[in-house]
Structure 1
Amino acid sequence: MTQSELKDFLDEKVHQYNTLDFIESDPVQIPHLFSQKEDIEIAGFLSATIAWGNRKMIIKNSHRMMDLMGNAPYDFVMSHSQDNLEALDAFVHRTFNGADFSCFIRSLKHIYQNHGGLEVVFSTNQEKDSMQKSIHEFKKLFFEIPHQNRTQKHISDPLNNSAAKRINMYLRWMIRQDNKGVDLGIWKNISPAALSCPLDVHSGNVARKLGLLTRKQNDAKAVSELDLALRKLDRIDPVKYDFALFGLGVFEGF
């Protein structure tokens, strides 16, 4: 397949999967429940954080997170009491438990009170063609407050060679200007051209079969390699191809 044929094939798959129907089976539906900017970005961040494992369980537990916050995530983050946090103790999604949830709430309050909010933190440290340093700096700020060491594993650091799939997916939701209504694109100070494809088993395997990726491990080096390949296909909106790679892998078993 030539580069031109590959682009045409993947553009067709983006068109097929980047539709409103995608929302029904994806955790991106959680931030779509809200209209206020801060509610959207907090709901998106928390649901992306637990986005590993069975997709139905991810969505179910993300809805439970919202219920535990009274379906008002920003108000809960900024106004919670100790009793409110204790009510989170019973929450569990795989290895993310109530103690982690409480820490995330306290850390988010710290981000909004002392660092201007999530968009400000991510945009402050962005580089021209990468958000990976920004993710690294975000993690440092997020864990400035007292916390259990175990909770740090729930935010990946690409500068430690993690693919950081969930946080790259979250950034796609918040930043990508999507005229199909899937990605929310509420952050206007970061270019979609700087986004990285959320790399997982499915998208990695498809990318290798299509010759977009040679590295065997799904790590930060693989993300960089895939980024370069996808930016050759579309330098303005490279992560639109996440829909193609994901759809081919999950829905078509490519």
Structure 2
Amino acid sequence: MVNLSKIQDLKPFLDEKVELYNQFKFIATDPISIPHKFQKKEDIEIVGFLIASIAWGNRKSILNNGEKLCKILQFEPYDFIMNHTERDLESCTGFVHRTFNADDLRYFIRALKFIYTQHEGLEAVFHKYQVEHSLQPAIHEFKSIFFQLDHEKRTEKHVSDPEKNSAAKRINMFLRWMVRKDPNGVDFGIWKRISPAVLSCPLDVHSGRIARELGLLKRSQNDAKAVKELDDNLRLLDSKDPVKYDFALFGLGAFESF
């Protein structure tokens, strides 16, 4: 049973931490810094999706490989996605980030072209399949569409599925970047057809630990059920922009001995 009074008591503290950590100055060492190199909507969302897809492990490695991704895409991601030839995909050879390799990247490029040519783009897919109060079913549908082309089964692990009880941390992070209109210029807010109110917190070991210490999360596993529990509690704090508290949870875990 949720202790509403206790959660509401946290609001001033967490709002203060959001204000402290939801600042552009913190993004230099964050994966979101890579799509911030671009101006065009499609460029931002393509690079955002790719960098979010490899955003696990050492941060320096993530950023270095993000730079490599931009080079492979010839610093014009949308143009490359839409007009690449099979020969152009040879530039992917040798790319690797942990278990995400060149074959995975080549498939992601082909699948992104499929999304833009057959499904009107990334935003259109998530908008079409969102339900009231949640984008999690849309993530499931997106994965189904994304893997309609011939592919190696192993590549599917790089797009999580909430319907298989995954917390889908990286894709929820990507959605936060695209949808949330940030007053301080961190998140892009370039997807206008989806409300920030339906976003889910990118749940990982660090944000989960802080959420449990604050009493915002009781479930011990970081899975889809935990995401739902945390979402429900964060929406009690701010129903219009619940995932702004991701900044507070992350900041408390990364920068403070909380």
Is the structural similarity TM-score above 0.5?
A: yes
The equivalent residue for 1:92 is: 96
Alignment of 1:40-189 (within 5 A): 40-189=44-193
TM-score (norm 1): 0.98
Alpha-carbon contact 2:216-2:230 (below 8 Å) kept = yes
Q: Which residue of 2 aligns with 1:226?
A: 230
- Provide structure 2 residue ranges, at least 5 long, that are not aligned to the other structure: none
Aligned residues: 254
In the alignment, structure 1 segments of 5+ residues that lack a partner are: none
| Aligned-pair CA distance for 1:4 | 3.5
Q: Which amino acid aligns with 1:224?
A: K
SS in structure 1 opposite 2:43?
A: helix
CA distance in 2, matches of 1:152, 1:253: 37
Among 193, 199, 203, the alignment partner of 1:195 is 199
TM-score calculated relative to the size of structure 2:
0.97
SS across alignment from 1:197: coil
In angstroms, what is the RMSD of aligned CA positions? 0.9
TM-aligned CA deviation for residue 56 of structure 1: 1.2
Q: Displacement of 1:18 after TM fit?
A: 0.2
- State the Cα distance separating 1:84 from its structure 2 match: 1.2
CA distance in 2, matches of 1:208, 1:3: 12
Q: Choose from 213, 216, 220 the match for 1:209.
A: 213
Q: Deviations over 1:64-119 (max 9, x none)?
A: 10011111111110111111112202100000000000000000000000000000
Contact 2:7 2:216 in 1 (8 A): no
In percent, how many aligned pairs have the same letter? Answer: 62
CA drift of 1:5 comes to 3.0
**Distance across 1 between alignment mates of 2:253 and 2:162:** 24
Q: Deviations over 1:155-192 (max 9, x none)?
A: 00001000000000000000001111000000000000
Distance in 1 between residues matched to 2:257 and 2:39, nearest whole Å? 35
For 1:34, the equivalent position in structure 2 comes to 38
